[in-house]
Amino acid sequence: MPPIPIRATVQHIDVLSYNVRSFHFKLIDPPKLEFQAGQFLILNVPHEGKTVKRAYSVASPPHEPLVIELCVQHIEGGVASTYFWQLKPGDAVSLSGPHGRFLLNEPVDYDPVFMATGTGVAPLRSMIKHLIRINCTRQMWLLFGTRYEHSLLYESEFRTLTQLRPNFHYVPTVSRPKEWRGEVGHIQQTFQKYIPDFSNKEMYICGWLEAVKGICHDLEQWGIPKDKLHYEEWA
């Protein structure tokens, strides 16, 4: 559907890591939002008498249209994240959406491989929850990379999902571990280890601009066709 203005209020806020929070917004007008997994909303931030617009991917799935979840990292001095950090339950916000074409290729007659760094996991979480909802039986992987183990967002949720859904595979990777006992390095390395055969697979990649560029470059160097790489990036 075309983007529309949205009024919402803060329902509750979850702390995901020392600098990342999950904001759950109860929709007021419209009372529910039709969108596709992978799309984003634009938040209208009041700042010094003007409105600053910032885009955030929807972390919740389309089958939960009454409350929208946004995953936000605090940036020191950042106009939007500072505004988010001042919000409390009951506060009103102004948004617009849905926006974006970072969507699942339909029908899903292939094995999707999701690759995320940091808060780039948000739209991929929406996609994964959507596929679980429609009872997708294809093999699915989430390769999630962070610098530190305490920055692995939705960690318990993804680990629980592997127990409930044998076709879902979660591979977290930490590049600067302290007491971490899992995979170490970058998600390109875990891709090579866990996805030796990339035939009949499509890759969905999201994260910071330079990280996404590096991942796509490496995957192409390994012979993966460009049309199998779908990505969303931000500076």
pLDDT at 2: 82
pLDDT at 234: 75
Tell me the residue type at 168.
Answer: F
Residues of the domain holding 179: 111-234
- 125 and 87 in a single domain? The answer is no
pTM (predicted TM-score): 0.96
Domain match, 91 and 122 both: no
Hunting for tokens 């600098």 — which residue is that? 19
Can you give the length of the chain in residues?
235
Give the CATH number of the domain where residue 95 resides. Answer: 2.40.30.10
User: What's the first-to-final CA gap in the chain, in angstroms?
Assistant: 27
Residues 135 and 191 in one domain: yes
pLDDT in tens, 43-86: 999 998 899 999 999 999 999 999 999 999 999 999 999 999 99
As a whole number of angstroms, the distance between CA 119 and CA 178 comes to 21
Examine residue 58 and state whether it is found in any structural domain, yes or no. yes
Element (H, E) at 85: helix 79-86
The pair of three-digit structure tokens given for residue 126, joined into one six-digit string: 């929406």
Tell whether the model's pLDDT for residue 214 goes beyond 60.
Answer: yes
What is the pLDDT confidence band of residue 123, given thresholds at 50, 70 and 90?
A: very high
Contact 202, 224 (CB under 8 A): no
Give the per-residue pLDDT at 177: 86
* Residue finishing a domain among 35, 64, 99: 99
Residue 235 has what pLDDT? 53
pLDDT for the residue 31: 97
What total number of domains does the chain contain?
A: 2
Is 181 inside a domain boundary?
A: yes
Look at residues 78, 90, 160 and name the one whose alpha carbon lies nearest to residue 119. Answer: 78
